[in-house]
Amino acid sequence: MLHIFCPHCGELRSEEEFHAKGQAHIPRPLEPNACTDEEWGDYIFFRDNPRGIHHELWVHAAGCRKYFNATRHTVSYEILETYRIGEKPTVTEATVGEKKATTAGVTA
């Protein structure tokens, strides 16, 4: 059982209070009518399926019933951070890559 930090309630809660809602940071096209079918189809249906860091939308369904974002590693299932809607993630593929390189003693 995972414990997930809800940024609204401000504490760790058990996984069963939450639902995952798919990929985060997908902006709706500003002018849907100006989209080609392909662009609109990509927006509606196509999602990333990365191996590694994934930014996702979660909802605290049984608690405060608010949405928030979570950064999760899709291999280890480790949730690296949670943050409110509108905020930017601090853990990204780039920052994790840098850290790995430093710990492994890789130099440019």
Residues that bind another protein (CB under 8 A): 1, 8-11, 13-14, 16-17, 61-66
Sign of CA dihedral 10, 16, 19, 24: positive
End-to-end CA distance of the chain: 40
Q: Give whichever of 35 and 64 is closer to another protein, judged by the CB atom.
A: 64
Rg, the chain, Cα only? 16
Q: Give whichever of 66 and 73 is closer to another protein, judged by the CB atom.
A: 66
Q: Give whichever of 53 and 83 is closer to another protein, judged by the CB atom.
A: 83
Q: How far is the CB of 79 from another protein (least distance, A)?
A: 17
Q: How far is the CB of 8 from another protein (least distance, A)?
A: 5
Q: Give whichever of 10 and 105 is closer to another protein, judged by the CB atom.
A: 10
Q: How far is the CB of 71 from another protein (least distance, A)?
A: 21
For 16, the 3-state DSSP assignment is: helix
Q: How far is the CB of 60 from another protein (least distance, A)?
A: 8
